[in-house]
Chains A and B, each alone.
Chain A
Amino acid sequence: MTDALPLLVVLPIVLALIPIVIGRVRPDAGWAAGVVGALVHLGLSVSVLTTVLTAGRASYAVGGYVPPFGIELVADGVSATLVVLVSAVTLATVIYARSAGPRSNTFYSELLILTAGISGMIVTADLFNLYVFLEITGLATYALVATGRSPAAALASLKYLLVGTIGASLYLLGVGYLYIVTGSLNMADLATLIPEVGYDSPLILTGFGLIVVGLGVKTALFPLHTWQPDAYAESPGSVAAYIAALVSTAAAYALFRVLYAVFTPAFDAAVPAALDTLVVLASVSVVVGSVLAVLQSDLKRMLAYSSVAQFGLVVAGFAVVNETATLGGLVHLVGHGVMKAGLFVAVGALATVAGGRTVDDFAGMADRAPVVSAAFAVLAFALVGVPPAVGFAGKWQIVLGAVEAGRWVVAGVAVVSTLLTLAYFARVVERLYFRDAPAAADVADRHDAATAPDADAALTADGGPDGTAADPVDAAIPTVSTQARVVVVVAAVAAVVLGLFATDLISVFAPVVEVSFQ
């Protein structure tokens, strides 16, 4: 069923209108539209995945114009898996947002538009179309970050908008260079036309540089990451979970497509300096991101800098230009999405109970929120790379590929980053399990103090459905909502299960990567 491919993009956009149109009459229309959108999207993406698994590859010519003249949508093993990830995270976010907010109808409209944008970025096979989806994704993300009520959220969103737009515009300029030399925008077509012009043509190299820098901004690689920690820290918990799991992931996948579907490994053979630079950039990103994460006391910021490091590792895997490392990068890309979404929801849920989200606020939380704490610990160690979780599978492949290619720097950086990841997660897990909780009255005080200036006022003030405890002291302190508990546990289980079936994941991705290396 190839018609499912365009519907992945069209359906969420159409459904996004519903909360706006009938939201005034029925205040809960937004949530209903979100759930329906996420479930139907999941059905469509699973049907695309089954098509891909049986037939190998699905493509769709938009408007009936034959590629390379018209826009082409393509699903292969990697993009179909990523689209399923998008649906799953959307569903989890909608479920979590039921208890954690934001509660406005427009939030669900923005979420559905963002889902459409990200799905589009993943399935499109046209460079200009990718720009349009990049900007749809960007616009929806800026609006979602600003749903945090505080002025700091608006400021973070504007900063993201300025940096993100410059990044997307640089990408557009790069696409312009490639279009001027080759006269085509279709990825597969470009892959045959660029060698005819010559890989070392200055126009091609300029185009490559601009595209990589543009997507690097969106992926948040080290010197270009400045928008990211503010945006993650100031946005509401459900939004942070969604954008941390998917927005940068889609940009990193776009980078993969540009490197392997447009420029192909032959480009690396002709101009080794280009990808060597990218390896250095990504390696610096891994080390600096990890070090900055260790220095943070705010847990959302810590997770944000951790994303800078993990995406550095993913891009380093791509830039090694070797089948094993590329597969590792893709596995880590999917795994990171699952783990980060779970970690952000866990931090949001624990912060609700603890009354703050610094490392010290979480002391002794394992007694008061045992399920979420355990899931947080599982996810944290999964991201560190403890087998059998998916974090191990991805990193192992990257290190293995780097050693095969003789890129000892990448292998070393991956190991160092693992140690640093352990450093910043171990202190949180230690606080959760081995420190005594402060006295209950003390917590209540701190909770009141923290609520007023906090960006998450709406989030912390929300007791959740089971917030009516018998004990009068506990009644003042919100408990973890059932929705948050379910989402975090599912994410933790998924991280382990994906790790156990990592070889199957790799065998789904392998045909896509093999084509480029022939």
Chain B
Amino acid sequence: MIDLFATHYSYLIAVALIGIGLYGVTASPNLVKKIIGLNIFQVGIFLFFVTSGFVDGAAPPLLGHGSGPYASPLPHVLILTAIVVGVSLTAVALALVVRIYDAYGTLDADAIEEVRTHD
């Protein structure tokens, strides 16, 4: 069991990040913190993917860097795309937060809800 934790700690960190991220999105009333939680959640998934490309004792998949076996480069390429998507999402989300802050003067989701019900 201990051995498993020692060799697969990367997966455990991924699970922890996914959990922390989801908790951040759901538990925090602050809209910016929700977005930070979303980012942590996505990073957990990225780590999970990248880890899957790891091969024990393998060389980096570059010509002239040792001979096979090579680590799989495909998950890294996929996650590069996913990171770009994540950055664009964060940008859109923050732009929306700016608009919401201008209108309500607060970032607290509960306070905004209160303002909306009193209107």
Contacts and interface: CB of A to CB of B under 8 A. Distances in A.
Q: Do A and B come from one complex?
A: yes
Interface of A: 128, 131-132, 135, 138-139, 142-143, 146, 151-152, 154-155, 157-158, 161-162, 165-166, 169, 172-173, 176, 179-180, 453
Given A146-B96, A161-B92, A169-B41, A176 B85 contact: no
A132 B85 contact: yes
Contact of A142 (B96, B99, B116): B96
B89 A135 contact: yes
Contact of B42 (A152, A155, A161, A169): A169
Given A169-B41, A180-B52, A158 B97 contact: yes
Given A161-B93, A166-B22, 18 more contacts: A128-B78, A128-B81, A139-B92, A151-B102, A152-B116, A157-B96, A158-B31, A158-B93, A161-B92, A161-B96, A162-B25, A165-B42, A166-B38, A173-B45, A173-B48, A176-B48, A179-B49, A453-B119
B45 A131 contact: no
A228 to B, nearest CB: 17
Interface string B80-119: 0110010011001100110110111000000010001001
A513 to B, nearest CB: 30
Contacts of A157: 96
Contacts of B88: 135, 139
B25 A166 contact: yes
A404 to B, nearest CB: 40
B119 to A, nearest CB: 8
A165 B38 contact: yes
Contact of B82 (A155, A172, A453): A172
Contacts of A146: 96, 99
Place the interface of chain B in its size category: 20 to 34
A457 to B, nearest CB: 14
Q: Provide the main secondary structure of the chain B interface.
A: helix
Contacts of B93: 158, 161-162
Nearest to B95: A146
Contact of B89 (A128, A154, A165, A453): A165
Contacts of A135: 85, 88-89
Nearest to B22: A166
A179 B52 contact: yes
Contact of B41 (A154, A155, A166, A179): A166
A143 B92 CA distance: 7
B60 interface: no
A169 B41 CA distance: 8
A155 B112 contact: yes
A128 B104 CA distance: 39
Given A162-B25, A166-B38, A154 B82 contact: no
Contacts of B81: 128, 132
Interface in B31-77: 31, 34-35, 38, 41-42, 45, 48-49, 52, 75
Nearest to B113: A155
A143 B96 CA distance: 9
A162 B34 contact: yes
5 contacts: A128-B81, A154-B103, A165-B38, A169-B42, A176-B49
Nearest to A168: B85
Q: Which 10 pairs show the lowest CB-CB distances between chains A and B?
A: A151-B103, A154-B99, A158-B96, A135-B85, A180-B52, A154-B96, A154-B100, A176-B49, A173-B45, A161-B93
A176 B52 contact: yes
A154 B45 CA distance: 27
Contacts of B102: 151
A172 B43 CA distance: 12
Nearest to B100: A154
A404 B100 CA distance: 52
Contacts of B31: 158
B53 to A, nearest CB: 10
B39 to A, nearest CB: 10
Contacts of B34: 162
Contacts of B82: 131, 172
A172 B44 CA distance: 12
A139 B89 contact: yes
A160 to B, nearest CB: 10
Contacts of A158: 31, 93, 96-97, 100
Contacts of B49: 172, 176, 179
Given A169-B41, A172-B45, A176-B48, A151 B22 contact: no
A198 B89 CA distance: 36
Nearest to A158: B96
Nearest to B49: A176
Given A146-B96, A172-B45, A161 B89 contact: yes
A142 B112 contact: no
Nearest to B119: A453
Nearest to B75: A179
Contacts of A138: 89
A139 B119 CA distance: 30
In the complex, which of the residues A143, A169, A176 has the most CB atoms of chain B within 10 Å of its own CB atom? A169
Nearest to B41: A169
Nearest to A146: B96
Contacts of B116: 152, 155
Contact of B100 (A142, A143, A151, A453): A151
B99 A151 contact: yes
A169 B57 CA distance: 30
A274 B42 CA distance: 26
B84 to A, nearest CB: 9
Nearest to A173: B45
